[in-house]
Structure 1
Amino acid sequence: MQKKHFVQAGLALLTLVIITSPAWAQPGLHAIPASTPATPLAPAPPFILTQLGQIGGPSYTTQVVEPYAYLGAGFRLQILNIANPSAPVLVGQTPLLPDIVRNLQVIGSLVFVALGDSGLYLYDASTPAEPQRLGIFDTPGFALGVSVVGSVAYVADYTSLQIVDVSNLLAPRLLGIYQAANVIQNVTVSGGLAFVSEGACISSGCSGIMEIVNVSNPANPELRGRHTIPFPSYMRDVQVSGNLAYLAGGEVGLQILDISNPAAPQLRGAYNTPGFASSVSLSGTMAYVADGRAGLQLIDVANPLTPTLRGFFYTPRAASSAFVVGRVAYVTDHTSGLQLVDVATPSAPRLLGAYTIPGYAYGVTARDQIVYVAAGYSGLQLVDVSNMTAPRPYGAYNTPGIARSVRVAGNFAYVADHDRGLQIIDVSRPPTITLRGAFDTPGNAEDVAISGTLAFVADGFDGGLQVIDVSRPMFPARIGAFDTPGDAEGIRLFENLAYLADGNAGLTIVDVRNPAAPGGLATLSLPGYAFGLAITRSISGSVTSTLALVAAGTGGLQIVDASNPAAPTLLGVYTSTQDLHAVEVVGRYAYLADAGGGIVVLDISQPARPQRVSAFSTLSYARGLHLAGNLLYVADGEGGLISAYTTDAPGAPRAVRLPLVFNRYRILPFPP
């Protein structure tokens, strides 16, 4: 089916109130223009929002010094004990860092971390349970790679190679700069030469370039030679062994160059891998290529003129880097953490173990002490939050599509899996998680709501509303459907009605008293793009109103009076957000997930004039949220899962403000 929109349907808590059934107009879809709401009141004093824990984020890099693996896990450096490869154990990690870990190198007990906008960080990991930060060198660009030789660190810093003296670990200082004409992705230093991976891009695509720079005099680096890979390609990594350089060239796979004359490197052999070659690791006569969605490619390079494929191993998501020690390949899998693969028999590599974290969080819900994360290409991820300050992975199921949203009822998690429809997953015995059934909807499943034995799916442009009987989880069956006028992104159920955040059409309300024949009542046009919504009740004196709060992207929060579902009217707005994706309501407060600004809390006791009462900036792009009592869980895109404590107790604000990451550069190695 068509993959039309890669956007997240917002998540919100459904507030249910038992009342007598209202009298509605007869079914029939009516388009209603939005009216102008009242002006918001001045901000009220903030209440407390305190961050408790965080887990997850994309993994781009790892290195191993046995018995430890050092993993870039989103906004943290994590240290895993891999003495038992079948069960890697987290033993220590840094606090949250100001950017995503892009690359790292381990020298003894020291770890050098390339940290994007924040430059180079140095850590002492002699006590793995408590890595200690030493010095920082704030590079002027965007640190993507690092190579350390002796007391000098070479940092691939987007458009320049920064050469840094790290002999004083507490106060690194600049020695020299090599300015490149293209984007520098990585660097490897060997024998006084820096082998610099670059990409030169124009509107039609990119070409990969390797530059060889003489760095024997760090204060005056000089270009010695260059090799250009024809379009389309992209240089992501170089490893050197003797007189040969092994290049991970993106679309063109592996290239092998003779560098005995650095001024004139010569192509000796090549192997065009099926994916996107982003990293290469050498061991003996084998080259191990992290090849994106083609996983790990095992290539025999005993004869450099004719490299030969010996085997391959598909990782759950997209292999972003590989590091081989002995018979084990440690493969970072972008949004699925770390895969440990036995490569002793190249023709039959096999999985030994995995350390799985939510690499990109779209949606979230919780029950008891388990949080369920819809993690995009990495499927359903379970997180144990019994220790709120140290959440830990607690099982995963890699769905075949792109997990956008999740609801839990009884023994099952119901996952809206985008182009692969509805996935029904048995979560009764975590961490053991198994698929029980699936229904491939005609559109792109973005959100799901459960009522009894029925699943109501917001199914994008092609599918609208899909009603699925899940009484037999192994054999789900569609019993009804309604073609909404927009892109059905989010859904909530209330009093025999389905409320849909309907993309560019706004809010659509559907009568589902007869699930086999849903009937449209109205569509209210709203500014922006409706991603998600929440339904609640507002009581003012003797008047009780049904409110639909719609997260409308750049249109902010739209508060709709839906007391008469055949004629909803716009009641209030809040537009001091950037890209609103989800909303959840508890009592008088609305919690907003703003992909451009984090979490915003509004007092909606006067719906026509919502007041901002608190906020905090998240690490990445807040896509979804869920409230369980006074605990707030945020699906934060590349920031993974964030947990926070919320209270309206009086007092001075003590909100923990996480660093807001500004992506000044377009660094998109893989789609989320």
Structure 2
Amino acid sequence: MRPALLTLTSILLAVATQRAGAGPADDGGRLRREGQAGGEAVAGAPVSVEYAVVSSGNRVTLYTHVGSVPLKVDSVKLDGTVQGLATSGSASNLRDFTVFATTDTTLYSIKVRVLRRGLELFIAGKIQFPLPFFIHPLAMLGPGLPEGDHAAVGLGPGATGGFALVDVSDAAHPTQVSEVTGIGGATGLVAWQPDASHTYLAAGTSTGFHLYDVTNPGAPVPLDEVPVGVGVSAVAVDDVRDRAVMVVSVGIIQFIDLSDPQNLSLIGTPVPRATQGLDFAFLNGTSTLFTADDSSGWSIWDIDDPASPMIVTSMPMIGIVSTIAETDGAVFVGNRDLGMFTYTVTAPDQVTPAAVYPGFNCRQAYLAEGRLFASTFSGGMQVFSMPPSGEGEMEQLAAWPHISWSGDVVGTTIHSTQGPNGMLRTMDLGNPPAVLDEFDTRGLGYSVEVYDYGGPIGRVAFVADGTSLEALSVNDPADIGALGSFGVTTTGDLARHAVNVEVTALPSAPNQVLAFVACLGFGLKIVDATDPTALTQAGMFSATSVYDVEIADTTAYLADGLTGLRIVDVSDPAMPVELGLFNTPGRALGVTVSGEVAFVADQTSLLALDVSNPASVQLIHRWETTTAQSVDREGDFLAVADGRGGALVFTFGPDQPLDGDLGDLLLGIEGDDSGLDLNHDGAAGVADIVTVINGGL
């Protein structure tokens, strides 16, 4: 046993050393994800009349229904935002039923376990695809489509992409059997059987429409292609009349004749349409096309005659509709801002709403009054309980349906900006969804911060309004009034906008109130706001494109886009001095600071940085995200707006557990990039544990 003990010691030392590659070896600081609210619910599928599965952020959830109200049965967490969802097996026997889900790099097989206390989802198996490939589209193929024994996953991005075929007959051990590359990054996949002895796969990619015979999944045979220089964004197949439908990436629906699979040709009339997703069904003898129409909602088309396709039903929606799927008359419509909507469609002109599964795309997340607040574009302002449950979930407490780009909470009043419409709204936290007042700022309403002057001035909301900084009285939240305005840049200069603001009095000048304005295109404007009715410039710091600013003592921390994190001494506002610069790996969009640690929302990750020495900033820990764009801190918690991934909650500290087993030490925990590649195969995986068992360090 002595060698095994030495090996374990070596492992632990190696873990400390490799994880310290992201920062000092002895700091012990770690980010740990505690919970998630929302996330885009853009993938869903019916399991049976009684059950359905829907993705939201990094979760796949099994629901049942009481009328139109979905009730959660169970959910599982994956290692990234769910990109695709498909099902296989008989809904009459849930034990044989399998859900397949893709994240950016992994295909999961998820099964249902029947317990005395009810149904439980669990991850039965998975297969990971190596970088630089990212997998998005997902289709099932095999005997008895769509209940296939193989899965097709799209590979991308770029011209080297294509698709891979995976044997999923054993859910615990999905195995790749073939791969087609060099046809462009896949954007849509559809499999079908034109007859009893063949299976075809249509692939929409960045280079066009490609048709393959995949009857033998181990050896796909190319049949023909329709080149499209600007790429294809979605595909569907009318297998009844041997036609395909594709959306050219510039927003045109085109039809393809599939009757001779080795001689494809365009037919019918091209239709201009800003469509993100497609699906096909044969309803009541009519070839029916379903389109996800971006900001216009979704539509049902009669495409019996491709020369004159007609919209039969148009369903307007607020938000962005990006996916649509039909199965046996159940239509799942994925709205990035509002969640997954389901409908029953018995004919192209007969549509009945069925259920709504909430979800959202999060632009800003912040913590106040012991709650999580999320600004969710068209999904409005949403409020959740804190802290997260042991399962990482947070209960929704309230919601306001109006567009929300940002917010600030003081006491029981929420202040929310409405983005491109330039509106500031005040809302009573205890009385959703009532609005106390609203004020048209006439700009872009990027963000808001409330500063309490006390005395007769009271509370003032400062709005980074695009070309200006607006000061508004909110002392009476039911009566918003204009106080002052400061022109940040030339009106109409879209490349130079005020997008964020922090208001404070510095210790070096406690009687002077300053507004630090983050500006795209040129840097930081420092505005003397001591008198909110007479705003004047106090200083300026030139930078690349500042998205966010945080002030700690007399130091400004700037999230400067592709440049990274800048640290600036602003003790003399008229003469800011740069103290340090850290070039982050992504695009620095948000920043908050706690003591000697700065947390940066870096688009593709959340970073924890040691800023004790501004001239030599060190990376402590990195957590991969979907599209992290803001970060806020209250007490022990961090809130991150992760775009499509929803609102995430983290903790940080030297005593964070590593989930308690050697596997976590080797592989890292969910979202963590700190696993060990002990066998030098380019990835941290099960093979590395085998290396340990065999003493192969």
Q: Tell me which interval the TM-score lies in, with the shorter structure as reference length.
A: 0.7 to 0.9
Q: Quote how far apart the aligned CAs of 1:596 are.
A: 4.6
Give matches, 1:257-296, under 5 Å: 257=256, 259-265=258-264, 269=268, 272=271, 274-282=273-281, 284=283, 285=286, 286-296=288-298
Tell me the alpha carbon deviations over residues 508-529 of structure 1, each in whole angstroms, 9 at most, x when there is no partner.
221222212211111133x443
TM-score using structure 1 length: 0.78
2:541 corresponds in structure 1 to: 524
| Per-residue CA distance 1:147-188 (angstroms, 9 max, x = gap) | 232323333334334233333333333444445633332322
Note the C-alpha offset of 1:200: 4.3
Counterpart mapping for 1:118-133 below 5 A: 118=106, 120-127=107-114, 130-133=120-123
User: Which 5+ residue runs of structure 1 have no aligned equivalent?
Assistant: 1-40, 202-207, 538-545, 662-672
User: What letter matches 2:449 in structure 1?
Assistant: A
Paired residues for 1:583-622 under 5 Å: 583-602=591-610, 604=612, 612=618, 614-622=620-628
Is the CA contact (8 Å cut-off) linking 1:58 and 1:335 kept in structure 2?
yes
Partner of 1:68 in structure 2?
A: 51
Cα distance per residue 1:63-85 (max 9 Å; x no partner): 11232222232333232324533
Would you say 1:446 and 2:446 are equivalent positions?
A: yes
Q: 1:264, CA displacement in angstroms?
A: 4.1
Partner of 2:13: none
Aligned to 1:27: none
Number of the residue aligned with 1:20: none
Q: Distance in 2 between matches of 1:479 and 1:49?
A: 42
SS of 2:279's equivalent in the other structure is strand
C-alpha separation in 2, matches of 1:652 and 1:137: 23
Tell me how far apart the structure 1 counterparts of residues 549 and 669 of structure 2 sit (CA, whole Å).
Answer: 26
Give me the whole-angstrom Cα distance separating, in 2, the residues matched to 1:172 and 1:112.
10
Aligned to 1:110: 98
Structure 2 unaligned spans of 5+: 1-22, 91-96, 144-148, 452-457, 490-495, 506-512, 660-664, 675-697
Residue by residue over 1:268-315, the C-alpha shift from the partner in whole angstroms, topping out at 9 and shown as x without a partner, is 655736421422142513432222222210223456664321221123
* Alpha-carbon shift at residue 652 of structure 1 (Å): 10
Larger RCO (CA under 8 A, 6+ residues apart): 1
Quote how far apart the aligned CAs of 1:504 are.
4.2
Q: 1:578–1:197: structure 2 CA closer, same or farther, 3 Å change rule?
A: closer
Return the offset for 1:620: 2.5
Matched, 1:487 2:517: no
Instruction: Show CA shifts across 1:327-356 (max 9, x none).
Output: 653211134321234556865857554222
Q: Give the aligned residue type for 2:40.
A: P
1:458 maps to 464
The alignment yields a C-alpha RMSD, in angstroms, of 3.6
Q: 1:659, CA displacement in angstroms?
A: 4.2
Give the aligned partner of residue 147 of structure 1: 140
Is 2:538 the counterpart of 1:536?
Answer: no
Change (3 A) 1:351 1:407: farther
Letter in 2 for 1:560: V
In the aligned structure 2, how far is the partner of 1:588 from the partner of 1:142?
36
1:600 deviates by 1.0
- Separation of aligned partners in 2, 1:354 and 1:295: 15
Query: Per the alignment, do residues 64 and 427 of structure 1 end up closer, same or farther by CA in structure 2, a change over 3 Å counting?
Result: farther
CA distance in 2, matches of 1:176, 1:559: 50
CA distance in 2 between counterparts of 1:524 and 1:147 reads 55
Q: Match of 2:39?
A: 57
Aligned partner of residue 564 in structure 1, secondary structure: coil
Paired residues for 1:390-409 under 5 Å: 390-400=393-403, 403-409=404-410
* Distance of aligned partners of 1:474 and 1:254 in 2 relative to their CA distance in 1, 3 Å threshold: farther
Q: Distance in 1 between matches of 2:529 and 2:568?
A: 20
Q: CA deviation at 1:233?
A: 6.7
Q: What is the CA–CA distance in structure 2 between the aligned matches of 1:650 and 1:154, rounded to whole Å?
A: 39
CA contact (8 A) 2:32 2:650 kept: yes
Give the direction of change, closer, same or farther, for the CA distance of 1:47–1:645 in structure 2 (3 Å limit). Answer: same
Task: Report the counterpart of residue 243 of structure 2 in structure 1.
Answer: 245
Q: Deviations over 1:24-78 (max 9, x none)?
A: xxxxxxxxxxxxxxxxx97862335332122343344221123222223233323
- Other-structure match for 2:691: none
The amino acid of 2:568's aligned partner reads V
Alpha-carbon deviation of 1:249? 1.7
Shift of 1:397: 4.1
| d(CA) in 2 for partners of 1:376, 1:369 | 23
Q: Say whether residues 1:633 and 2:639 are aligned partners.
A: yes
What is the CA-CA distance between 1:326 and the residue it aligns to? Answer: 6.3
Deviations 1:392-439 (A, max 9, x none): 445544544xx4422123444323333222341535347x43455444
Q: C-alpha displacement at 1:256, in angstroms?
A: 5.1
Distance 1:446 1:110 in 2: 43
Separation in 2 of the partners of 1:429 and 1:342? 36
Distance 2:220 2:296 in 1: 37
Matched, 1:372 2:373: yes
TM-superposed CA distance for 1:483, in Å, is 1.6
Given that 1:212 and 1:223 are in contact with CA atoms closer than 8 Å, whether structure 2 keeps it comes out as yes
The corresponding residue for 2:192 is 190
Q: Is the aligned partner of 1:512 residue 2:494?
A: no
Alignment correspondent of 2:5: none
1:492 maps to amino acid: E
1:33 corresponding residue in structure 2 = none
Aligned runs of 1:270-349 on 2, under 5 Å?
272=271, 274-282=273-281, 284=283, 285=286, 286-301=288-303, 306-324=308-326, 328-341=330-343, 343=345
Partner of 2:560: 552
| Residue identity matched to 2:310 | T
Which shifted more, 343-352 or 292-301? 343-352
Say if 1:292 and 1:578 are closer, same or farther in 2 by CA, change over 3 A.
closer
Equivalence map 1:643-658=2 (5 Å): 643-647=649-653, 658=671
Q: Which amino acid aligns with 2:419?
A: H
Q: Tell me if the contact between 2:401 and 2:433 (Cα under 8 Å) persists in the aligned partners.
A: no
1:451-477 alpha-carbon deviations (Å, 9 max, x no partner)? 3442101123x22x1112345656644
Within 1, Cα distance between the matches of 2:670 and 2:151? 32
The match for 1:45 is: 27
Deviations 1:577-598 (A, max 9, x none): 6533322234454333333542
Task: State how far apart, in whole Å, the 1-side matches of 2:518 and 2:265 are.
Answer: 57
- Cα separation, 2, equivalents of 1:270 and 1:566: 63
Identity over aligned pairs, percent:
20
Q: Give, in whole Å, the separation in 2 of the partners of 1:247 and 1:621.
A: 31
Is the partner of 1:90 in helix, strand or coil? strand
- What is the CA distance between 1:494 and its match in structure 2? 1.3
Q: Output aligned runs, 1:471-482, within 5 Å.
A: 476-482=480-486
1:248–1:427: structure 2 CA closer, same or farther, 3 Å change rule?
farther
* Residue matched to 1:81: 64
Q: State the Cα distance separating 1:650 from its structure 2 match.
A: 10
Distance 1:427 1:165, change over 3 A: same
Aligned length: 594
